[in-house]
Amino acid sequence: PAGENVVTVHGDTPAPKFDRRLFGQFAEHLGTGIYGGIWVGKGSRIPNVDGYRRDVIDALKAIRTPVIRWPGGCFADEYHWREGVGPQARRKVKVNTNWGGVTEDNSFGTNEFMNYSELVGAEPYVSGNVGSAPPYELAEWVEYMTSPTGSSLAKERAANGRKAPWKLSMFGIGNELWGCGGNMRAEYAADVTRRYSTFIKMPEGQKVMKIASGANSEDYNWTEVMMRDAGAQFDGIGVHYYTIPYQWEHKGAATGFDEDQWARTLAKTVKMEELVTRHSAIMDKYDPKKRVALLVDEWGTWYDQEPGSHPGFLYQQNSLRDALVTSLNFDIFARHTDRLRGANIAQMINVLQAMMLTDGNRMVKTPTYWVFDLYKDYQDGVVLPVDVQSRWYNKNEWTLKAVSASAVRGTDGAVHMGLTNVDPNQPATVTVALTGVTGAGVTGRILTAPTMDAHNTFDAPGAVVPAAFTGATLADGRLTVTLPPKSVVMLDIR
Ligand code: AHR
């Protein structure tokens, strides 16, 4: 009947796996994303492991953080790795020209980042400086990180405290070459990418994924030209898409918003579906076998900075609305796993749509963190395609399906199914038909709160946290689920 919500899970026609790299993080030298957020230094009174704050390590491990992208962002194309190695007291102190003009003492450099990735259990995704450094500088950087032994750079690394090479998984050939990475035209960027890629060489037996700097949102010409002219020189290409409720000059507040802003934010975030579909279609023309991966290596919400925060630090609160932005994007990612094999939310701590906010020795997990937690069993699981028939949610000119869903058969053998109800006023009753899925029972967790902008603070860190969900029943291969208004639910069928 009209208005009924029906989801069909096709367990018998599995799609490519939900690559764990789709849960990737991004940590730029921006605001307190690194200094204060990750790194407090060994002498700090904040509990730390070798200078890295312990609460953040534990929280990143708990959501099985698979990838961290570093050092930028715009910062990457002005970063010179040599300024960030060797004794910390002797490192060059610079001005961070992109982000607030603050001093950058380079105390967090290559050794600190690569060791941190290992500590957290994440793969490092290092973005190279293509905009303002010669290819030789990047070649040496890669050699410093990966050369087993014998070369001067391997010896220098050992003298800096690290004898064995690190495993460098992913390397970015510049960032936003169309903008802060050099203001290049697509044709020029393609040639530059060919040139720089030539000199990124790995030791025998090691492989790095080379990732080209991708398009800004719907700049389809960028992907076209990069794939056409340089596609053989890289293994992945990015695309960046930020969800901005209004315009660049006035983006909208992170909290204290009305339902129009709720609806426009969620309607704008699901534009990701169109972007991924169209960039993928262009890639299919040049790479029908899908050798080259698409990576949304920057995504998330971008609001006006918090009143009173440092201009240029991009510090924003994170509410239940951000939780739904996250689950809607994960559902979209699940529909494109044939081509989409990585994503990096911007950014990990204290910047834009963060997992965590810190203040001195205090740390709070955001609603976005909790969606990463709810969905973590998707990592490397096989996607089970879903059809969603849903009533529409409308507010003013903003319209989207009230119900969003995706499903994955996890590496643990269970089927995990994410369901979101974007309507802030009405519950949604959903019938889920399970084909090719057998399970004796269903359990679940839910993330919701009384208000659209509910958020966690240092004084009230438990305002938006998952709770046990009892609104699903399983009988005769069918689930009946009642989703409360503005909620994200993760079901586990075993
Ligand atoms: O994430 C903040 C900035 O957004 C990044 O530095 C840049 O790549 C993008 O424009």
Q: Residue 15 and residue 17: Cα distance in Å, rounded?
A: 6
For the chain, the maximum distance between any two Cα atoms, rounded to a whole number of angstroms, is 72
What value does the CA radius of gyration of the chain take, rounded to a whole number of Å?
22
Pocket test for ligand 1, best of 34, 74, 211 (most atoms within 8 A of CB): 74
Residue 282 CB–ligand 1 contact under 6 Å: no
Q: Which atom from ligand 1 is nearest to the alpha carbon of 242? A: 4
Structure tokens, 41 = 């230094």
Q: In the prediction, which pLDDT does 477 show? A: 87
* Helices and strands (DSSP H and E) totals, the chain: 10, 28
Q: Are 135 and 198 in contact (CB under 8 A)?
A: yes
Look at ligand 1, atom 7, and give the residue with the nearest C-alpha: 73
Residues 6+ apart with CB under 8 A from 315: 31, 32, 305, 306, 309, 350, 351, 357
In the chain, the amino acid numbered 250 is H
Residues 6+ apart with CB under 8 A from 349: 27, 32, 33, 37, 38, 56, 355, 356, 357, 358
Residues 6+ apart with CB under 8 A from 46: 40, 53, 360, 361
Q: Are 346 and 244 in contact (CB under 8 A)?
A: no
Look at ligand 1, atom 3, and give the residue with the nearest C-alpha: 73
Q: Residue 230 and residue 214: Cα distance in Å, rounded?
A: 12
46 three-state secondary structure: coil
Backbone angles phi, psi at 406, to 5 degrees: -155, 165
Look at ligand 1, atom 5, and give the residue with the nearest C-alpha: 73
118 in catalytic set: no
Q: Residue 373 and residue 165: Cα distance in Å, rounded?
A: 31
Backbone angles phi, psi at 21, to 5 degrees: -65, -10
The structural architecture, per CATH, of the domain 18-379 is Alpha-Beta Barrel (3.20)
Q: Residue 250 and residue 244: Cα distance in Å, rounded?
A: 9
5-9+385-493 and 18-379, same CATH topology:
no
In the chain, the amino acid numbered 355 is M
Return the residue matching tokens 């010896």: 155
Q: What is the DSSP letter of 338?
A: T
Cis bond before residue 426 (omega within 30° of 0)? no
Q: Residue 102 and residue 94: Cα distance in Å, rounded?
A: 8
Q: In the prediction, which pLDDT does 149 show? A: 86
Find the Cα–Cα–Cα–Cα dihedral 139, 143, 144, 147, rounded to 10°. 180
Ligand 1 centroid to residue 28 C-alpha, Å: 9
Beta strand 340-346 with 293-301: parallel, antiparallel or unpaired? Answer: parallel
Q: Residue 375 and residue 378: Cα distance in Å, rounded?
A: 6
Q: Are 7 and 387 in contact (CB under 8 A)?
A: yes
| Strand-pair partners of 418 | 406, 490
Look at ligand 1, atom 6, and give the residue with the nearest C-alpha: 73
Task: Give kind and range of the element (H or E) at residue 468.
Answer: strand 467-468
**pLDDT 10s per residue in the chain (494 long)?**
445 899 999 999 999 999 999 999 999 999 999 999 999 999 999 999 999 999 999 999 999 999 999 999 999 999 999 999 999 999 999 999 999 999 999 999 999 999 999 999 999 999 999 999 999 999 999 999 999 988 999 999 999 999 999 999 999 999 999 999 999 999 999 999 999 999 999 999 999 999 999 999 999 999 999 999 999 999 999 999 999 999 999 999 999 999 999 999 999 999 999 999 999 999 999 999 999 999 999 999 999 999 999 999 999 999 999 999 999 999 999 999 999 999 999 999 999 999 999 999 999 999 999 999 999 999 999 999 999 999 999 999 999 999 999 999 999 999 999 999 999 999 999 999 999 998 889 999 999 999 999 999 999 999 999 999 999 999 988 999 999 999 999 999 99
- Of 143, 298, 306, 397, the active-site residue reads 298
Q: Are 403 and 266 in contact (CB under 8 A)?
A: no
| Strand-pair partners of 401 | 392
Look at ligand 1, atom 2, and give the residue with the nearest C-alpha: 73
Q: Residue 299 and residue 306: Cα distance in Å, rounded?
A: 19
Ligand 1 centroid to residue 296 C-alpha, Å: 13
In the chain, the amino acid numbered 22 is L
Q: Are 75 and 28 in contact (CB under 8 A)?
A: yes
The structural architecture, per CATH, of the domain 5-9+385-493 is Sandwich (2.60)
Residue 320: which of 366, 253, 272 has the closest Cα?
366
Pocket test for ligand 1, best of 70, 96, 216, 240 (most atoms within 8 A of CB): 240
Residue 297 CB–ligand 1 contact under 6 Å: no
Cis bond before residue 73 (omega within 30° of 0)? yes
- Of 28, 176, 204, 224, the active-site residue reads 176
Ligand 1 centroid to residue 353 C-alpha, Å: 12
Residue 298 CB–ligand 1 contact under 6 Å: yes
Q: In the prediction, which pLDDT does 3 show? A: 53
Backbone angles phi, psi at 58, to 5 degrees: -60, -40
Q: Residue 431 and residue 80: Cα distance in Å, rounded?
A: 55
298 in catalytic set: yes
Cis bond before residue 71 (omega within 30° of 0)? yes
11 three-state secondary structure: coil
The structural domains of the chain, with segments of one domain joined by +, span 5-9+385-493, 18-379
Q: Residue 88 and residue 91: Cα distance in Å, rounded?
A: 5
Residue 337 CB–ligand 1 contact under 6 Å: no
Ligand 1 centroid to residue 205 C-alpha, Å: 33
Q: What is the DSSP letter of 28?
A: -
Residue 3: which of 407, 427, 471, 325 has the closest Cα?
427
